[in-house]
Structure 1
Amino acid sequence: MGPVRLEDGETLDSIGTADVRVFQRRTGYRFTLDAVLLAHFAATEGQDLPGPVLELGAGSGVVSLLLVKQFGVAGPVDALELQPAVHERLTRAVALNGCEGRVRPVLGDLRQARSLFTSGAYGQVVSNPPFRRAEAGVVSPDAERAVSKSEVACDAPSVVAAARHALRPGGGVSLVYPAARLAEVLGVLASARLFPRVLRAVHARVDAPATRFLVQALRDQDRGLSVRAPLIVHGEGPGGYSAEVAALMDVPLAERNGG
């Protein structure tokens, strides 16, 4: 493969063990570890949820590409993104990663899900939505960063409503949110008859409070809730990560050296 052409102000970044590469604005919103944790959680906990997958708010495409390229989800994965410039970078990333047909970029607004997608078309929905309430703190003056980080273009009820519409009965939605919003998000899911079945808290260190939570909920099926062991991000593993997180981020040394 020849050199990859970057647009002005772009970087080409790699993540995970399968050499997923994405285009990002140098000064815009950039993916975080949350994307990797969500993709792994959705793939692991959603093994019994066959059929197409929908990502709401796909951004640069990290979650969708990780699902098919690193975590072996058959897909196809429809990657919905609102912002045209971000969607264009997502489309180029799909081609660069050789995932045409397995990841299908869609330009559109998740608040218009009823006109974009057939009801019940998907077995699984994933979303790493904007975390910050629109009225909480200062909204970034950079429009792309603001839409990606703050609920200026969608909020939790909008994300959940879109997931509800897209999922078939028994299908599941996987989300990541700040730990402080746990009660709120569980309430929004319950009001949409999306019943949590798996919950996992994410902690920076073993003795630190939770900073995030991962949740998977099923449409119209209440099978009871399983609370997984906490996910610890930092530890004594490679790169300062815990062994579990390092295994998601780094190619084993034996593979790097051809062993």
Structure 2
Amino acid sequence: MSEEASPFVAEPDETLDSIGTSGVRVVQRRGGYRFNLDAVLLAAFAAEESPEAVPALELGAGSGVVSFLLARQFGRGPVDALELQPAVYARLVRGVTLNALEGRVCPVLGDLREARTLFSAGAYGLVVSNPPFRPASAGVRSPDEERAISKQELACDAAAVVAAARHALAPGGGVSLVYPAARLTEVFGLLTAARLFPRALRLIHARVGAPATRFLVHALRDQDRGLGVRPPLIVHGEGPGGYAPEVAALMDPPLAESA
């Protein structure tokens, strides 16, 4: 990630960071939760598995990086970007203006657990989410509330994410998620129980020969068309910035953080 010269003025506790090949910029708090490679890989995967430009919804949008990449770099959307935390939402709103994405990304302040009151049933052809990875009881909770809510399932869990996606998706629509590899069985079980049938799976590996650390899954509402296992996604290699060529091609300049 890198800060760019811009007439946009960041607050003292904020950074203005760039990502992707289309000039996406994101406002982030220095001490808060900051996006990492998972967001970029999720946006690319969702675009690959949902090749048509359909109305899209991001659950837990944070500073907006996935929504911005979907709209600008991958030509998807329009995207409604749902975020729970008011301060994070405010940065998301500023990011829409900064990236001139008015009309293509619409920020929504709200709780995904209340999706039934926030969104019409079946309104979206694509749902994406880079949700909190750790159960509420796992590990040490961050003393920073913003980081804690973004990293641990304090405000929502995987079941709530799946339920919100199920409500929002039109029949045949798809949801793309990224989770730790250790939670694959749990997440697949939740998806299938909600009749969101896994259609595509891609495991993310730091290096060739290393165990998978993450997985990407795309599931279809009410359509069980069988699971396709995509080639492994290798993060690090001989490409620019020390990334494998496929990953390096997704961002310019390279990210400072990785899976």
TM value normalised by structure 2: 0.94
* 2:52 maps to 1:40: no
Pairwise mapping of residues 89-100 of structure 1 onto structure 2 (< 5 A)? 89-100=91-102
How far apart, CA to CA, are the structure 2 residues paired with 1:195 and 1:155? Answer: 19
How far apart, CA to CA, are the structure 2 residues paired with 1:172 and 1:15? Answer: 25
* 2:225 maps to 1:220: no
How far apart, CA to CA, are the structure 2 residues paired with 1:25 and 1:2? Answer: 17
Compare relative contact order (CA 8 Å, sep 6+) and give the higher one, 1 or 2: 2
Q: Which residue of 2 aligns with 1:255?
A: none
What does the per-residue CA deviation read over 1:181-218, in whole Å, with 9 as the maximum and x for residues that have no partner? 00000001011010000000000001100000000000
Q: Which residue of 2 aligns with 1:162?
A: 164
Pairwise mapping of residues 108-187 of structure 1 onto structure 2 (< 5 A)? 108-187=110-189
Give 5+ residue unaligned stretches, structure 1. Answer: 252-259
How far apart, CA to CA, are the structure 2 residues paired with 1:94 and 1:2? Answer: 15
How far apart, CA to CA, are the structure 1 residues paired with 2:98 and 2:54? Answer: 25
Q: Which residue of 1 aligns with 2:195?
A: 193
Q: Letter of the aligned partner of 1:163 in structure 2?
A: A
RMSD value, Cα = 1.3
How far apart, CA to CA, are the structure 2 residues paired with 1:26 and 1:116? Answer: 30
How far apart, CA to CA, are the structure 2 residues paired with 1:224 and 1:43? Answer: 19
1:21 corresponds to which of 6, 21, 25: 25
What does the per-residue CA deviation read over 1:77-131, in whole Å, with 9 as the maximum and x for residues that have no partner? 0000000000000000000001001000000000000000000000000000000
SS in 1 for 2:249: helix
How far apart, CA to CA, are the structure 2 residues paired with 1:233 and 1:114? Answer: 37
SS in 2 for 1:154: coil
Compute the displacement of 1:35 (Å).
Answer: 0.4
2:10 corresponds to which of 6, 9, 24: 6
1:69 corresponds to which of 57, 69, 72: 72
Q: Letter of the aligned partner of 1:85 in structure 2?
A: A
Compute the displacement of 1:4 (Å).
Answer: 1.2
Q: Letter of the aligned partner of 1:53 in structure 2?
A: A
Provide the aligned length of Structure 1 versus Structure 2.
250
Compute the displacement of 1:8 (Å).
Answer: 2.6
How far apart, CA to CA, are the structure 1 residues paired with 2:231 and 2:17? Answer: 31
SS in 1 for 2:94: helix
SS in 1 for 2:187: helix
How far apart, CA to CA, are the structure 1 residues paired with 2:188 and 2:245? Answer: 29
More off after superposition, 227-236 vs 50-59: 50-59
TM value normalised by structure 1: 0.94
Q: Letter of the aligned partner of 1:20 in structure 2?
A: V
Q: Letter of the aligned partner of 1:32 in structure 2?
A: N
Compute the displacement of 1:2 (Å).
Answer: 5.9
How far apart, CA to CA, are the structure 1 residues paired with 2:49 and 2:170? Answer: 17
Q: Percent identity?
A: 75
Give 5+ residue unaligned stretches, structure 2. Answer: 254-259
